[in-house]
Amino acid sequence: MEVKYVPFLKSKANEIHALAGLDESIAENLVPFFDYPKKQSGDKAEDIGPAIIRLAKKFKKHLGGFEEFYFDVYDLSDGLEIEGDHLYSFLLGAFSDLPLVPVVSIDRSDDHLNSVIKGKEKGVVSSNYVAFRVTPEDFQNFDAVIDDIEDMLNPIFSLFEMVDLIFDCRICSNLDSQKLSKQIDVFTKGFVSSYPVRRVVVSGSSIPASVAEVLSSNSEKYVERVEVDIFSAAVSLGAAQYVFGDYTTISPDYSDADIPGDQMQGRITAKFIYSFEGQHYFIRGGSLKTKGRDQYYDLAEVLCSKDFFRGPEYSTGDAYFYEKSCREGDKCWVTTVIKPSIDAHISYTVKDFLADCLL
C-alpha cells in the first residue's frame, strides 16, 4: 500500500477513537505507529498485562479498517515480564490476530529481539514486514553501528520479506535539522544497499512533555516544527522516497500522570495545540481549578478567530473547535480535547500539509 503519513500515537483510548473517526479518504493514506505509554510512577507487570488484553480488544473493535499498524514498547522497561513471558512477547501474543508490524532496534534486549523471532517462527506475527526504529544516537554514524545491526538484527531481518526503516528524531526542537537530515540520508544509503527496504519514515516532534516548557499560563505562542525542516531537507537529498511521520499533538515524552482526581483540577491548565504551515500554535489558559472549564470556550474563540483556522467544515476536529468557540455542546476537559486535536492535525497533514511540504 502507498503510505503518505505515519502518525505516532500512545495507544490511549481517545487516540484510538480519533483514528477510528477519521474520514476514510484520510485514513487510507496512513499507517499508525503506536507506543505503549509509561506511567510517571513506574510500570507494573500486573497492571500492564490486563491493560494489553483490553487494548487488543479495542483495536479489534475500532481499528479494523487499517491494513496494518506498528506497535512498540519503547517507553517501557525492557526487563518487564508478564505471566513469565517477556513484555513484548506477551503483547505480540495478545495482538496475534491483528495486522501488527513488530518493531526492533539495536538498543533492545535479547529478550525483546527473541520475542520477535519466536513470534514469527510460531506464526504469532503474521506480518511479512518488520520495522527497524533508530533514534539520533543510533543513526548519526552508519559505519559505527553496521556491525551491531548485522549481529543483532540479521537473524530477524532474514525472517521477513522487507524492512521498514523508521527514523525517530523524538523531540527535535533544539536539534540541527540540516545536520540530522544529512545523517539520515547517509544512513539510508548504507542501509538500503544491504537490506530490502519497503519504506523509510522520518518522524519527530517539537512538543515537550510539559506545555510549561513552551509558554506560560494565559498566553499564546507559535512554535516552529523542526521535524518538518528535517523531513523536507532529507527529501531534498533524495536517498529514498521518504514518508513523513510525527507525533501529532502529543509529546513523544508523554506519560500517564498518577494524580488523584481531587487534585487534578489544581495541577492542570487548559490548552489547545493547532498545526498549520510548519508551525504549532499553542494557546494556554489557567488552572482548571481556579478558572474552570468555561475557559476552553474562550480559548476556542481565540483559536477560531485566527486567519489560519481552517473552518468547521474542514474536519470533525475543526468542527469541534468551532462549536466550542460558539459556547455550544458539552464543556471541554483535558481528555476530551485530545480526539479533536488529533483529528484536526491528521486531516490537515494528509489533505494539505504534505502537498505543500513536498513542493
Rounded average pLDDT over 94-115: 97
CATH architecture of 5-259: Alpha-Beta Barrel (3.20)
Domain boundaries, the chain: 5-259
Q: Which residue has the cell 510460531?
A: 122
pLDDT at position 263 over 60: no
CA distance 319 to 327: 12
Q: State pLDDT tens for residues 147-160.
A: 999 999 999 999 99
What percent of the chain has a predicted confidence (pLDDT) above 90?
88
Q: Map 76-126 to HEC letters.
A: CCCCCEECCEEHHHHHHHHCCCCCEECEECCCCCHHHHHHHHHHHHCCCCC
C-alpha cell at 345: 492535525
pLDDT band at residue 356, thresholds of 50, 70 and 90? confident
Q: State pLDDT tens for residues 291-333.
A: 989 999 999 999 999 999 999 999 999 999 999 999 999 999 9
CA distance 242 to 185: 10
Q: State pLDDT tens for residues 242-254.
A: 999 999 999 999 8
CA distance 249 to 354: 17
pTM of the model: 0.95
Helices (H), the chain: 13-20, 24-27, 45-62, 87-94, 110-121, 136-139, 142-148, 154-157, 177-192, 226-237, 261-267, 288-291, 295-304, 316-325, 338-348, 354-357
pLDDT at position 200 over 70: yes
CA distance 313 to 316: 7
